[in-house]
Structure 1
Amino acid sequence: MSTSPSPTGEDQARQDALTAYRAMWEDFVQAGTTSDWQSPELGDHATGLALTNLSRGLYADHYNGLVTKGQPILNPTVSSVEPAGDPVKIIVSDCGDSTNWLKYRADNGQLADDEPGGRHAINAIVEKQADGSWKVTDYGVHDAGTC
């Protein structure tokens, strides 16, 4: 009798961390369509510095009359787990493509600038929370062309 093995704790943690990472960006994309820096969804998959940085970025766009349209293309991978076997901290590496995810002026719908999007190296820390959920606690997005 052959049964497929259930995922190990580490495998499940890797999946949960990648899911949280992707969901954080999806929450940010949705909030960006109106630059809603107070969107309650932002805290669903981000906390700490990550949540602060998401909110600050959206507030700056709101203040400057900008909104974001389109979708980034993500391709995240797990680059490390701590501790191995039963992780509580996972580092995610990505090369996010913002070519079709740009800022526009809210008043007239025109592109905010003439800078094209591009491929950005992204590193994120995803940590297991007290309630067992996984949330992005910090991230860094590098300049276009870094991957």
Structure 2
Amino acid sequence: MRVPLAPEPSSRPWLGTGVVLSAALLGLTACSTAPAHEDTPVDPSPSIDSAQAEAVLETYRSAREVYIDLLQGELDMDTADEQLKQYATGQAYDSMLQDGTTFGEADIAFEGEPGMDPQVTGLDMDSDPPSSVLTDCWDDSSWHPVQNGQTLEAAPDQDPRRVLNVRAQQQDGAWVLVELSPEEGRTC
């Protein structure tokens, strides 16, 4: 998975007036697939600890805020890198920073803000390390890429709402995101 929060490049056929995204942007999927064993869901607890669930959600919201600021051009890569280290590691961390690099190199910034509706759907405090699964509805309706002052339009058949699956782990007493996987064929 290369583009965790934004749509996968294959579903991002932006149609600007005479604007074509660079090959680098379209090549994001090459490194985007998480290993198959990481897709195994965490077994949900009979009752999810609300304090732990809120801590997972807060980590997700914080990482998401840094990611959005990066893609909107409000943060430079060094600042985003330092901030994301607090909230993400591994594939999730790499994906968010790679998006910043790729969109930055293509001179694409995003305007607006994507909608979200995150929910902790699984929490296993007995695993080592403790793990959690979160599902979000990522909504691009008010989140638009802009290149050279022109808004790039999505293809007419592209649904702006997609499911995003997130895996988090508790490391050194704090929750961090370790995997982000959009489900391109599933809307919410």
Same fold (TM over 0.5): yes
Moved over 6 A (4+): none
> Which protein, 1 or 2, shows the higher relative CO under an 8 Å CA cutoff with sep ≥ 6?
2
**TM score, norm. by length of structure 2:** 0.65
More strand per residue: 1
Percent of aligned positions with the same letter in both sequences? 22
Relative distance call for 1:134 and 1:10 in structure 2 (3 A) is: same
Matching residue within 144, 154, 161 for 1:102: 144
Quote the Cα distance in structure 2 between the aligned partners of 1:48 and 1:25: 16
Where in structure 2 are the equivalents of 1:1-147 lying within 5 Å? 10-34=49-73, 36-38=76-78, 39=80, 40-83=82-125, 88-105=130-147, 108-115=148-155, 118-130=160-172, 132-143=173-184, 146-147=187-188
**TM score, norm. by length of structure 1:** 0.81
Quote the Cα distance in structure 2 between the aligned partners of 1:95 and 1:79: 13
Task: Count the aligned residue pairs.
Answer: 137
Please say if residues 117 and 144 of structure 1, whose CA atoms lie closer than 8 Å, have aligned partners that are also in contact: no
Stretches of structure 1 that go unaligned for 5 or more consecutive residues are 1-8
Could you list the per-position Cα deviations for residues 50-108 of structure 1 after superposition, in whole angstroms to 9, with x for gaps in the alignment? 00000111111011111111111111111111136xx8211001111111112111xx3
> Partner amino acid for 1:109?
G
Could you list the per-position Cα deviations for residues 112-147 of structure 1 after superposition, in whole angstroms to 9, with x for gaps in the alignment? 3444661110000111111x1111111112327622
Superposition CA RMSD, Å: 2.6
